[in-house]
Amino acid sequence: MKEDIILQIEDLSKTYQEKTMPVQALQKINLTVYQGEFTALVGPSGGGKTTLFNLIAGLDLPTSGKILINNTEITALSDAQRILFRRNHLGFIFQSNNLVPVLTVYENIALIMQLQKQAKKTIRERVLLLVEKLFLENQLNKLPRELSGGQQQRVAVARALATRPPLVLADEPTANLDLKNAENLLELMKKLNEEEGTTFIFSTHDARVMHHAQRIVKIEDGILTMI
């Protein structure tokens, strides 16, 4: 598993409001994540988790340092290039699932593949495989509002994995779920992690996520430490 580096973060720092009252959100972060890892990023609110996630996702740029994903230095890309890179190389799972309310389950899962202009047959095969693995076969034609919270998050997981991204960023994915649904979702994600070799990084306060994680990384006051 530890032969292929998916994510390499080198001396990453982020300072906000540099010219007025500087706030150092991240201080010289270094982190290596390998293919197939199931890693939890933990720490108090305001400690730097969201800033780090936004930088990995290419939604923001660091003050100094660099981030490489699959050997591509995303911190050196233009805005347009980062948008394309996100679409083609990253998957996202959010606390609120962010499903498109007017699209069916099938359409939500297929959306990114359609944007990538994949063949209809390829899209259909991938969607049907994922809904089978996530026990959503009978929900394909339903809209998000017709699903339970647990089902909606499973659709969000399927959408994140649809394009087989090497890295999935999951931001508090269990926060709005009850105990049973959270545990079921984590077990399914862990199974997909093992079967497909997808690398997951969770930003979380949830002890259940930490229990499933292979590695826990703590960030507090912008400083990263291993647990």
Per-residue pLDDT of the chain (227 residues; tens, 9 = 90+): 446 999 999 999 999 986 778 889 999 999 999 999 999 999 988 899 999 999 999 999 999 999 999 999 999 999 999 999 999 999 999 888 899 999 999 999 999 999 999 999 999 999 999 999 999 999 999 999 999 999 999 999 999 999 999 999 999 899 888 888 899 999 989 999 999 999 999 999 888 899 999 999 999 999 999 87
- The model carries a pTM of 0.90
pLDDT value of position 1: 42
CB atoms under 10 Å from CB of 1, counted, come to 10
> Residue 12's beta-bridge partner residues?
29
Which residues does 114 contact at the CB level (< 8 Å), separation at least 6? 123
Residue (of 39, 47, 5, 32) closest to 170 by Cα position: 39
Reduce the DSSP state of residue 11 to 3 states and report it.
strand
pLDDT value of position 18: 66
> Residue 67's beta-bridge partner residues?
9
131 φψ region: left (φ > 0), alpha (ψ -120 to 50), beta (else):
alpha
